[in-house]
Structure 1
Amino acid sequence: MKIDPAMKQYITEMILKTSFKMPSRLNLPPTALRFALEQLAKVFPQRKDVEIRALKIAGVHAEEIKPQPQTTQMIFHIHGGAFFVGSLKTHRAFLSEMAVRTQMQVLHIDYPLAPEHAYPEASDAVYDVYINLLNQGIQPKDIIISGDSCGANLALALVLRLKDEDTALIPSGLVLMSPFLDLTLTSESLRYNQKHDALLSVEALETGIEYYVPKNMDKSLTQLSPIFGDFKGLPPTLVQIGSKEILLDDAARFEEKAKQAHVHVTYKLYTGMWHNFQMFSPWFDEAKRSLADLAEFAHKLDRT
């Protein structure tokens, strides 16, 4: 029996609110929430038409996901999880879908999580992996840096750091999915979408910030809140956000500021979607469209 799309979305949102959003608002140990998220991620079907290889780069565990033996571009993806949850396991199925849709190699890393590893350990690990890739002979023009949620924070912070060091290090493109860019929590959508976002709670963000940011450190620093950085010279950037996300205004503010800095930015708003909706592409048309939009963006970069 075919389920009505509206009913399917309603049921999915109720399940997400009950199984993850509500527990994330409680003061549970990070290990418990990590386990819960990995269990939840098992519902996502993993593509069989990819090759997955475990490796270690710059001391960081990683996975290489390939849809075909030879690929021209690499997508270096940084997973989300409010800096304290998320892993290779939670994003493997989603990134296998990304690899198939783009027909590009996807590199996924298991960066150190807070509170065991506070700032700057995650950002330094991401930087070290990227520089290691360049040292292996991979050209910046052949890399797209991508991230979801706090992974988008780390991705943008990485590109800003590379830009400050040497513009020759900047990758060909940047993808920000459901980006969490402002750790000062000043975006209005944190309040007006609080009841609508099925997956992410303000409490989870506050917990992640408490774990990730060292005491007495200014949360508005660009390294922590890259929304406050200088965007001039950023590579072409794709931003994807759902209309129900509490982080909607983080994405909108990025688009506005990036355009003012003359960055080529493609901003995509997906109606009725919650945080990290892209991971639900096997079941929802808007999520499928987000991966098609990502593939289109990546292929344009590959042709330039």
Structure 2
Amino acid sequence: MLKSMWKKLVVESLLKNGLRTPSQWNIPTSTLRFSLEKICKIFPKNTQDLHFEHDQLAGLPVEKISPNNSAEHVILFIHGGLFMLGSQHSHRALMCSLVQRTQLPVIHIDYPLAPEQPFPAAFDALYQAYHALLNQGIAADHIILAGDCAGANLALSLNLRLLRENAPQPCGLVLMSPLLDLTLSSESLRFNQQHDALLSLTLIENAIQHYIAPHTDRDDPRVSPLFDQLQGLPKTLVQVGSKALLLDDAQRFRAQAKKAGVEVEFKLYTGMWHNFFMFDAWFDESKQALADLAAFVHHLKSND
């Protein structure tokens, strides 16, 4: 227990000094992307009995990682990175862990990033990619839509757009450390500023300015899905750390979704920071979060 606590404190210190503090400087996006890709190489990848395929959905690159067994359900995963960072490379270790834990294929999709392609580029491209997946013969009720950080924003926004257009719905939704309110009105952005080891408020603000054009309101439900009508969403899992800057985005979503009649499973992991899931090789809380996700997914399958 003591060893685990010290390990956590050391990693938090390294992250705060090596990532969070530098992220508040005026660093070019290209440099941030390059640095993230390099840093994420430290995460061990368990590729045993996994199969990798590369394809496209509506012109977007996808990597499909499959277990040794066949399965009808798939996880369509949208990576995070504050709309301007992240890729199949940065999240590959997490995707491998997801497949190993759930024993389901994960379709990990790259999408247009800001500032080169601001809103609505990703919003529209992911909508087209989802329909392309349906056109390949995968039933909507066999798709679990998932994402972390900004990817959770895009996953929720996509699901809400499908609802508005009466399109086929995924059977479940997974929101990991979700960024859902671009007005930045969540209280945890203030009280967790010194506690989150990964994210800074400055970095989030800069990313939002890259993502949305001046003519797009920050409370537009297409970019801040927390302000949308949530009725009709499928069963949803929300996971967040108690030290996360975005803690209240997750908690406010839980309250509003339950009020709208959505079945929500909410998991809070004490002492953990933003996107701690990626550290599952080292921390029990991260392992538990992925085990909880796997249990959620298998419950969805059993109700099919």
Q: How far apart in 2 are the matches of 1:178 and 1:287?
A: 12
Q: How far apart in 2 are the matches of 1:18 and 1:62?
A: 33
Corresponding residue for 2:13?
14
Corresponding residue for 2:53?
53
Corresponding residue for 1:93?
93
Corresponding residue for 1:152?
152
CA apart distance, 1:158: 0.2
Structure 1: 5+ residue stretches without partners? none
Cα-to-partner distance string for 1:149-178 (whole Å, 9 max, x where unaligned): 000000000000000001x51100000000
Q: 3-state SS of the aligned residue for 1:283?
A: coil
Q: How far apart in 2 are the matches of 1:263 and 1:201?
A: 31
TM-score by length of 2: 0.98
Corresponding residue for 1:284?
283
CA contact under 8 A between 1:244 and 1:275: conserved in structure 2? yes
Q: How far apart in 2 are the matches of 1:97 and 1:72?
A: 19
Q: How far apart in 2 are the matches of 1:213 and 1:259?
A: 29
Q: How far apart in 1 are the matches of 2:43 and 2:113?
A: 23
CA spacing shift, 1:55–1:3, aligned 2, 3 Å: farther
Cα-to-partner distance string for 1:225-265 (whole Å, 9 max, x where unaligned): 00001111100000000000010000000000011011100
Q: How far apart in 2 are the matches of 1:19 and 1:259?
A: 38
CA apart distance, 1:14: 1.0
CA contact under 8 A between 2:69 and 2:103: conserved in structure 1? no
CA contact under 8 A between 1:20 and 1:36: conserved in structure 2? no
Corresponding residue for 1:134?
134
Q: How far apart in 2 are the matches of 1:123 and 1:201?
A: 24
Corresponding residue for 2:205?
206
**Aligned pairs, how many?**
302
CA apart distance, 1:110: 1.0
Q: How far apart in 1 are the matches of 2:94 and 2:47?
A: 12
Corresponding residue for 1:83?
83
Corresponding residue for 1:252?
251
CA apart distance, 1:3: 7.8
Cα-to-partner distance string for 1:19-58 (whole Å, 9 max, x where unaligned): 2111211110000000111111011011122111111111
Q: How far apart in 1 are the matches of 2:279 and 2:214?
A: 36
Runs of 4+ in 1 over 4 A off after TM superposition: none
The reply to whether residue 40 of structure 1 matches residue 69 of structure 2 is: no
| 1:59-74 mapped onto 2 (5 Å cutoff) | 59-74=59-74
CA contact under 8 A between 1:72 and 1:302: conserved in structure 2? no
* AA aligned opposite 2:148: D
CA apart distance, 1:4: 0.7
CA apart distance, 1:134: 0.6
CA contact under 8 A between 2:157 and 2:225: conserved in structure 1? yes
The reply to whether residue 24 of structure 1 matches residue 10 of structure 2 is: no
Corresponding residue for 1:162?
162
* AA aligned opposite 1:130: Y
Over aligned residue pairs, what C-alpha RMSD do you find? 1.1
CA apart distance, 1:69: 4.4
Q: 3-state SS of the aligned residue for 1:36?
A: helix
Corresponding residue for 2:223?
224
Structure 2: 5+ residue stretches without partners? none
The reply to whether residue 109 of structure 1 matches residue 109 of structure 2 is: yes
CA contact under 8 A between 2:182 and 2:208: conserved in structure 1? yes
Q: How far apart in 1 are the matches of 2:30 and 2:51?
A: 29
CA contact under 8 A between 1:141 and 1:171: conserved in structure 2? yes
Q: How far apart in 2 are the matches of 1:17 and 1:54?
A: 35
Q: How far apart in 1 are the matches of 2:138 and 2:18?
A: 41
Q: How far apart in 2 are the matches of 1:240 and 1:18?
A: 25
CA apart distance, 1:72: 2.1
Percent identity for Structure 1 against Structure 2 = 51
CA contact under 8 A between 1:242 and 1:272: conserved in structure 2? yes
Q: How far apart in 2 are the matches of 1:182 and 1:120?
A: 16
